[in-house]
Amino acid sequence: MRVLFRGLLTALCLLIAWPVLAAEQVRVGAYHFPPYVIKPESAAPRGVLPELLAALNGLQSTYRFSLVPTSVARRYRDLESGRFDLILFESPGWGWQNTAHTALDLHIEDAEVYVALAEPGRDQGYFAQLKGKRLALYSGYHYGFAGFNANQQFLRENFAAVLTYSHDSNLLMLIRDRADIAVITRSYLQNYQSRHPKRSKALLVSQRVDQYYQHHALFRVQSPLMPETFAGLLLELNRNGQLDALLQSYHLVVPEPLLND
């Protein structure tokens, strides 16, 4: 009787564990770049991506999405080597030309804008010429004004660039007169303005845009998740209102094409 009971208990445990065991693991590359990902190596990463993956895991049990920390420079070889299966909020033109991948347009738009210190007599004409001005840039990022050349030496020599790993640091450099212009991700700047309304009054934001971009998901060639399947999951999130609410909370443009079945 005891043996039978143990057998039934083991079978029950297996049945309970089966949905977890059956879920296909999908590893998603992530590097620190607010507001998309904040400290992906931490126990509780924040940002658009962690919240999106949590929503996807809550939506279904076929796939289990998890973050895999990487870096701006290492992300190319990590995708190619299979360290992770896909990476989100990317563009095929951001150095991916020599890395085998499949791209899915997410129809989520963002932009890069120029920011300077607001001073008497300074207007939008200040942004017309970047040469001769000290630029505060995010290291590893591809900027339109530089022909999308992210080489640090090139940026330092041609644009007197100071390279950091923090949008906040670049904005503070303006306030402390250590830089003339910072190039900031639009969604991050809008979040910053909401958090720091007093500091924001000291900033002049350009109407000129460095670049607009449509975010993509990039999949490795042998990814366990196909782009069309992932698009279907996003569409389901959009139908129940979760995707719309998430994107709006981070000041990202809502993906209108996904609203159509």
What CA–CA distance (Å, rounded) separates 243 from 227? 17
Residue 125 pLDDT greater than 90, yes or no: yes
CA 8, 12, 13, 15 torsion-angle sign: positive
User: Distance between CA 90 and CA 79 in Å, rounded?
Assistant: 12
pLDDT score recorded for residue 7? 53
Q: What is the mean pLDDT of residues 12-16?
A: 51
Per-residue pLDDT band at 13 (split at 50, 70, 90): low
**CATH fold match for the domains 17-109+213-259 and 110-212:** yes
pLDDT the model gives residue 35: 92
Are the CB atoms for 204 and 191 separated by under 8 Å?
no
Q: What is the CATH number of domain 17-109+213-259?
A: 3.40.190.10
Give the pairing type, strands 86-90 and 24-30: parallel
Ramachandran bin of 148, using left for φ above 0, alpha for ψ from -120 to 50, beta for the remaining angles: left
Domain ranges in the chain are 17-109+213-259, 110-212
Give the pLDDT confidence of 28-48 residue by residue, as tens digits: 999 998 899 999 999 999 999
Q: Is the pLDDT of residue 4 over 90?
A: no
pTM: 0.83
Are 138 and 165 in contact by the 8 Å Cβ rule? The answer is: yes
Confidence of residue 226 (pLDDT cuts 50, 70, 90): very high
DSSP secondary structure code for residue 33 in this structure: B
Topology of the domain covering 110-212: D-Maltodextrin-Binding Protein; domain 2 (3.40.190)
Give the C-alpha distances (Å, rounded to integers) separating 151 from 42, 100, 142, 143, 160. 28, 22, 9, 11, 13
Cα distances from 176 to residues 43, 156, 160, 173, 204, in angstroms, run 33, 20, 17, 5, 14
User: Which pair of structure tokens corresponds to residue 131?
Assistant: 């040469």
DSSP state of 222: T
Confidence band, pLDDT 50/70/90 cuts, at residue 18:
very low
